[in-house]
Amino acid sequence: MLSTAIGAFAGRGYFGTTTMDVAKQAGISQAYLYRLFPDKESLFSAVVARSFERIRDSISAGAASVRSSSPEAVLAAMADAYAMLIRDQDLLLVQTHAQCAAVSVPEVRRAVRDGYARLIEYVRSVSGASEEQVQEFFARGALCNLVVTMGAEGLDTPWAKTLAAGLRH
């Protein structure tokens, strides 16, 4: 159900997607959808939580693949895994839509905050990185999101090269 909802919300975002849209795409009635989730905010918050779980699963696999225990090596492996994950446009779009909706929808704001809180604590504990390194890791991830959403990694212009320099996608 949540995988289908991710696809539905990715296309038109929180504000542009109705629960009827999600129910139709899932092949269920809207009434049944409301038995699973009491309202659209709860449904979207569950979608946001699931997207953070996918990110954690991905960076966890990255961390497990590295042979070194240095914070730099662990963070680099996590970054590589994340770079591969955001090729999934639905996930990237849901994350972007969630950040936009978080501005004005308190339940979504809580879901985004909770997702980041768990992810940051996970990255900190697994990598052994300093506060500054963890912050840099997330800052680069946000920059990766921006570069990918704009398609800047494929542009042969000075500004796009500046943004994408050193990023792996």
Sign of CA dihedral 115, 164, 73, 85: positive
Check residue 122 and give left, alpha or beta (phi > 0: left; psi -120 to 50: alpha): alpha
Each residue's pLDDT tens digit, 81-132: 999 999 889 999 999 999 999 999 999 999 999 999 999 999 999 999 999 9
Q: Considering the chain, what percentage of its residues have pLDDT values greater than 90?
A: 93
Kindly indicate the confidence band of residue 167, based on its pLDDT and cuts at 50, 70 and 90: confident
- Cβ atoms of 58 and 52 within 8 Å: the answer is no
Judging by beta carbons within 10 Å of its beta carbon (0-12, 13-18, 19+), is residue 75 exposed, middle or buried? Answer: buried
Taking residues 9-28, what's their average pLDDT? 95
Instruction: With 0.85 as the threshold, say if the pTM is over it.
Output: yes
What's the pLDDT at 169?
Answer: 57
To which residue do tokens 């225990």 refer?
69
Region 40-164: CATH code: 1.10.357
Domain range summary for the chain, segments of one domain joined by +:
40-164
